[in-house]
């Protein structure tokens, strides 16, 4: 029993480290992101959380985890749809950049860890990662993407996404209590 708990704690630690390792690289960027780069970061970050949700929907049987994953998949898809529509309207082509690559590299590691877990060990790892990922995403949107955005409509979309991510974090923390 103790061994199981230790494994769960260790894998959670690995996932949280993975999520945090990929994020600070973004904050450390001294160069200001351009609007096409911000659009790319926004789409990528949302897409990654949809992919985490898809893994949860495949692997979990816990009703609260499944409901949370369903909400993540739908909400982040809505943000992507709006970001893509706005980019099209503004004639902006999302541009890959170091931040996008950092997100993607972190996601590859996290998905591998999630895919290797089962049962409640998976549930805990997934929801712990969601808490860490949303905390980091909120920090990036608030302190990097919104200040860097120059187009007012792009800035406004990011500002609308902020309370959404904060609500996701509160929801994730609520579900997390089940797996303490």
Partner 1 sequence: MNKDLKRGGMILGSILLLFFTYSCGTPEQRAINVPEPDSTVANARPTHPAGTGLHFVEIKDMKFQPESLSVKKGDTVMWTNHDIVTHDVTEEKSKAWTSGPLAPGQSWSLVVTKSADYYCSIHLVMKGKLTVQ
Name the minimum Å distance from CB 69 to partner 1. Answer: 12
Q: Which is nearer to partner 1, 78 or 115 (CB)?
A: 78
- Residue 135 as a binder of partner 1 (CB under 8 A): the answer is no
Sole window of 2-10, 35-43, 147-155, 160-168 interacting with partner 1 (rule: CB under 8 A): 160-168
Whole-angstrom CA distances from 84 to 4, 42, 48, 90, 172 are 43, 10, 16, 10, 26
Q: Taking a C-beta distance cutoff of 8 angstroms, is the pair 109, 51 a contact?
A: no
Among 25, 98, 105, 164, binds partner 1 (CB under 8 A): 164
Sole window of 8-16, 18-26, 103-111, 162-170 interacting with partner 1 (rule: CB under 8 A): 162-170
Helical axes 63-90 vs 119-140, angle rounded to 10°: 30
From CA 83, how far away is CA 16, in angstroms rounded?
Answer: 27
The residues in 49-108 that bind partner 1, with binding defined as CB under 8 A, are 71, 74-75, 78-79, 82
CA-based nearest residue to 7, from 132, 167, 119:
119
Q: Which residues are within 8 A (CB) of 108 and not within 5 positions of it... i.e. 6 or more apart?
A: none
Q: Which residues bind partner 1 (CB under 8 A)?
A: 71, 74-75, 78-79, 82, 157, 160-161, 163-164, 166-167, 170-171, 174
């Amino acid at each position: 029993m103790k061994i199981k708990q230790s494994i769960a704690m260790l894998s959670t630690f690995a996932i949280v480290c993975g999520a945090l390792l990929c994020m600070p690289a973004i904050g450390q960027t001294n160069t200001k992101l351009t609007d096409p780069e911000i659009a790319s970061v926004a789409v990528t970050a949302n897409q990654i959380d949809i992919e985490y949700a898809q893994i949860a929907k495949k692997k979990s049987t816990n009703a609260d985890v499944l409901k949370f994953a369903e909400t993540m998949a739908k909400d982040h898809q809505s943000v992507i749809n709006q970001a893509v529509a706005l980019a099209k309207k503004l004639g902006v082509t999302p541009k890959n950049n170091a931040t996008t690559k950092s997100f993607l590299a972190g996601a590859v590691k996290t998905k591998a860890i999630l895919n290797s877990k089962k049962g409640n060990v998976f549930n805990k790892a997934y929801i712990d990662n969601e808490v860490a990922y949303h905390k980091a995403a909120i920090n990036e949107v608030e302190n990097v993407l919104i200040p860097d955005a120059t187009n007012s409509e792009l800035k406004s979309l990011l500002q609308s996404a902020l309370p959404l991510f904060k609500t996701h974090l509160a929801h994730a923390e609520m579900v997390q209590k089940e797996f303490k």
